[in-house]
A and B are shown apart, each in its own frame.
Chain A
Amino acid sequence: MANIMYWEAIQRAHDEEMARDPLVICMGEDIGVAGGTYKATKGLYEKYGPLRVMDTPISEGGFTGLAVGASFLGVRPIVEIMSVNFAWLAMDQMFNSAAKVRYMSGGQLTAPCVFRSAGGAAHQLGAQHSARMEKVFMGIAGLRVVTPSNPKQAYGLLKSAIRCDDPVFINEHELMYNMKGEVPDGEYFHPLEGSEVTRAGTDVTLFGYNISVHWCLKAAEILDKQYGISAEVVDLYSLAPLDRAGIKASVSKTHRAVVAEEDEAPVGVGSEVIAIINEECFFELDAAPVRVHSALVPQPYNHTLEKATIPDHEDVVKAVLKMFGKA
């Protein structure tokens, strides 16, 4: 096990897959000569050259479509969209071309592309550089969505996404690239489907993904130490498809659920998880499930307002205490 950073894990997955298969390429803004805004492609340009490590013009719709077209012929492009806010410009190609081509061609063509992008609020980046958009991607037929919460997942999910024949959107987080964690020394493929019980508990399930897994873990610690509440933390690293069986199994055990997401509430991960709970195990519930989420405002620049917009572990603790009648 190596203790490496999230960005190093992503870089390693690129490097291994590019060394293995000459049709694996990567592209994006500043990923080559500059090494990538988050260093996720550091050193690859020098190793694999400009034909396979493509510094693109600032044309998100254009180069995303180019990647999709190349994938029709068996090329495996890894596209970095520098910020998920810019992905709006590329969504036509992701949704209308990549996600639909297999279906509308009756299975003749497929678009095995990987789209990686950093979302989330960092530090006072304002309304157009702070969005969380996973909820937009997770409702698209034909598109897989995964979101790594640690370096091991960042490495293993990217490895699997490159190999998978379906288009995969990988939702990363601006604040997590320097997070350290254990990654297996040998080659490792993380499942693209399912969920992971990160901490076992008996009284309430805290569902998180990506950064919110860490709020849940911290909240579980506080709930255990200060309030004697045993919280289970479930990491929903796959947002499309969501793990119905995993959600059901945990809630059937704890009978209570809190879903924590950095995204705004409407039509989000929380809405979807709670709908699944209703469909799968409504009669197991001892309390109404709740969501912890951002305020529905364009991200404010002001530091105090920004902090007030985004939830954290304290909001998860509060939601659980309220559920238990302790707040």
Chain B
Amino acid sequence: MKIEDKKRVLREMVLHRRFEERCYQAYIERKIGGFLHLYPGQEACCNGVMEAARPGHDYVITGYRDHVHAIKCGADPKEVMAELYGKETGSSKGRGGSMHIFDAGKRFMGGYALVGGPFPLAAGIAKAIQLKGGDEIAICFLGDAANNQGTFHETMNMAALWKLPVLFVCENNLYGIGTSIERSTAVIHQHKRVAAYNIPADECDGQDVEIVYQHARKAVDHVRAGNGPYFLELMTYRYRGHSMSDSRGYRSREEEELWKQRDPIFILRDRLIAEGAMTMADYEAIEKETDAYIENEVIKFSEESPEPRVEDLEKYVLADRETQLPWLTGKAA
């Protein structure tokens, strides 16, 4: 990665981290309801892969830990936060919530809350790309635990069979909700599981964004060149619990500290400082500017935005009736 790109990515990762930490605070203040799954610790995964891909051009789909993926694709952080606040200005107009962020314009095809559900959807997006003949690829980010669903195997089989342009990114954070991978899964290293479908696969450190980028480069190029699917496993860790109700009693604080010593933001920061590309003061300024942006723009926008109108409760259930009349009434032109 070029120095300028690394500096930009560092700034983005700080935004991703502070955004999520601010969500935590807003949740405690009861500004955000429902379930909230936060991303700190895993930032290098999404960033490294998307640096190798084309955000806003390639189609991205993921599970419920989706805020950062949406923002990385180009979604406005203000709209993502407003969605968490349940506001009409939210990315899904307050109808989706934390687990269902969408930005179709940026080709972020959504966060889905059924574990493993996005696998076949991603393959379908790839099928559509294949039919239309575009140079986009579909990228499916999911956790390791999703691979224990039947949809994983069904989708790997179909993707390989039909050579679909889809990159599966497995963010292996070692836990499925509160059950460790050793206790839920017979195979720890997930990339081994796709060998059964003749899908090329790779595994790397998911904490170092440059390492992720290098491996993702190869993966993305493989898929875009029309060689069919690819599976990339990134070894990572989520600092917080699965969601907000999770007090992490299933793992030790020592284990958490060990992972925090390989923090994706600090790894990149320290490298840039060592390379003489920035100083600690520069970094601190980034943090400060990011916090100010989140407070003065993101939170302010979310606080001040209007609630959806109750009169619009049933809007968006079905397509706008007026546009569908020929098929609903049989009076086609």
Q: Which positions in A face B, CB cutoff 8 Å?
A: 22-23, 25, 51-52, 54, 56-57, 59, 61-75, 92-93, 96-97, 101-110, 141-142, 144, 156, 160-161, 163-166, 187, 189-194
Report the separation of the CA atoms of residues A69 and B154 in the bound assembly, to the nearest whole angstrom: 14
Report the separation of the CA atoms of residues A96 and B111 in the bound assembly, to the nearest whole angstrom: 12
Interfacial chain B residues near A56, Cβ < 8 Å: 158
Is the pair A75, B121 in contact by a Cβ cutoff of 8 Å? Answer: no
- Give the contact-size bracket for chain B: 35 or more
Is the pair A96, B117 in contact by a Cβ cutoff of 8 Å? Answer: yes
Is the pair A165, B121 in contact by a Cβ cutoff of 8 Å? Answer: no
Given A62-B158, A75-B128, A164-B319, A101 contacting B120 (CB threshold 8 A): no
The residue in chain A whose Cβ has the minimal distance to the Cβ of B319 is A165
Report the separation of the CA atoms of residues A191 and B330 in the bound assembly, to the nearest whole angstrom: 4
Is the pair B128, A68 in contact by a Cβ cutoff of 8 Å? Answer: no
Report the separation of the CA atoms of residues A69 and B155 in the bound assembly, to the nearest whole angstrom: 12
Report the separation of the CA atoms of residues A37 and B39 in the bound assembly, to the nearest whole angstrom: 47
Is the pair B120, A65 in contact by a Cβ cutoff of 8 Å? Answer: yes
Report the separation of the CA atoms of residues A110 and B323 in the bound assembly, to the nearest whole angstrom: 13
Interfacial chain B residues near A190, Cβ < 8 Å: 330
Is the pair A59, B128 in contact by a Cβ cutoff of 8 Å? Answer: no
Complex partner residue of A65 from B59, B151, B326, CB under 8 angstroms: B151
The residue in chain A whose Cβ has the minimal distance to the Cβ of B122 is A69
Interfacial chain B residues near A165, Cβ < 8 Å: 319, 323-324
The answer to whether B261 has its CB under 8 Å from any CB of chain A is no
Given A69-B125, A106-B91, A61 contacting B154 (CB threshold 8 A): yes
Complex partner residue of B95 from A25, A64, A104, CB under 8 angstroms: A104
Is the pair B112, A62 in contact by a Cβ cutoff of 8 Å? Answer: no
Is the pair A69, B121 in contact by a Cβ cutoff of 8 Å? Answer: yes
Is the pair B90, A192 in contact by a Cβ cutoff of 8 Å? Answer: no
Given A57-B154, A62-B155, A160-B330, A69 contacting B114 (CB threshold 8 A): no
Rank and list the top 9 A-B pairs by shortest CB-CB distance, nearest first: A69-B124, A65-B120, A62-B154, A106-B93, A191-B330, A69-B121, A73-B128, A105-B102, A59-B154
17 pairs of residues in contact across A and B, judged by CB atoms under 8 Å: A56-B158, A57-B154, A59-B154, A61-B120, A68-B120, A70-B124, A71-B124, A73-B125, A73-B128, A75-B131, A93-B117, A104-B97, A105-B95, A106-B95, A141-B317, A144-B318, A166-B318
The residue in chain A whose Cβ has the minimal distance to the Cβ of B114 is A96
* 0/1 string, B93-118, CB within 8 A of A gives 1: 11111001011110001101110010
Interfacial chain B residues near A74, Cβ < 8 Å: 128
Is the pair A72, B93 in contact by a Cβ cutoff of 8 Å? Answer: no
The answer to whether B296 has its CB under 8 Å from any CB of chain A is no
Chain B: minimal CB distance from A215 (Å): 25
Chain A: minimal CB distance from B332 (Å): 4
The answer to whether B132 has its CB under 8 Å from any CB of chain A is yes
Report the separation of the CA atoms of residues A164 and B97 in the bound assembly, to the nearest whole angstrom: 27
The answer to whether B161 has its CB under 8 Å from any CB of chain A is yes
Given A108-B103, A166-B319, A191 contacting B128 (CB threshold 8 A): no
Given A61-B151, A61-B154, A107-B316, A69 contacting B120 (CB threshold 8 A): yes
The answer to whether B224 has its CB under 8 Å from any CB of chain A is no
Interfacial chain A residues near B114, Cβ < 8 Å: 92, 96-97
Interfacial chain A residues near B117, Cβ < 8 Å: 65, 92-93, 96-97
Complex partner residue of B327 from A69, A71, A110, A189, CB under 8 angstroms: A189
A-contacting residues, B60-104, CB 8 Å: 61, 90-97, 100, 102-104
The answer to whether B231 has its CB under 8 Å from any CB of chain A is no
The answer to whether B127 has its CB under 8 Å from any CB of chain A is yes
Interfacial chain B residues near A107, Cβ < 8 Å: 93, 315-316
Is the pair A191, B328 in contact by a Cβ cutoff of 8 Å? Answer: yes
Report the separation of the CA atoms of residues A195 and B327 in the bound assembly, to the nearest whole angstrom: 14
Report the separation of the CA atoms of residues A160 and B3 in the bound assembly, to the nearest whole angstrom: 55
The answer to whether B329 has its CB under 8 Å from any CB of chain A is yes
Interfacial chain B residues near A108, Cβ < 8 Å: 92, 102-105
